[in-house]
Amino acid sequence: MTTMKFLALSLLLLVTTRSYAHTPSCRALVRDTSISNLYLYTDVYPTFPGGNKKLKEFIEENLKWPLGEIDFAGTVLTSFTVEKDGRLTNVKIERSGCQLCNVESLRLIDSMPNWKPGRIAGKSVRTLLYLPIRFEIKE
């Protein structure tokens, strides 16, 4: 009887130990370093050199209509990371209705100068920003 209890207990421990050995740790599941230490909210938000007024002027002066006549008037929602040194990286199209406008939006953001980075507790941090770019038909 004692031998049976010992075998049953040994088998139970073996099965339990084996099942825990194959469980990945949380650390192993996080592999995307592009989002590590990336903030959406900061004490001081990133800014375009000269502020929002200069950003609007930059967009108006540098935005080019896509080639050909298009029947699109709307907004392309972009996102990008403002790095600690102000560089813009990870530029993406989040929402759009016009493929040619997507290409122009990416070109526009790539042509921007470095921004003033976001800050938390006085230190520069990587910050995720969303920027809507409006395409309007001007008559």
Q: Which CATH class is domain 43-135?
A: alpha beta
pLDDT tens, residue by residue, 69-117 = 666 788 999 999 999 999 999 999 999 988 889 999 999 999 999 999 9
pTM: 0.71
E-strand stretches of the chain: 38-39, 74-82, 88-95, 118-120, 123-135
**SS3 state at 116:** strand
The answer to whether residues 105 and 62 touch, using CB atoms and an 8 Å cutoff, is: no
> What phi and psi, each to the nearest 5 degrees, are found at residue 54?
-70, -35
Higher pLDDT, 73 or 16: 73
Q: Indicate the domain borders of the chain.
A: 43-135
Provide the total of helices (H) and of strands (E) in the chain, helices listed first.
Answer: 4, 5
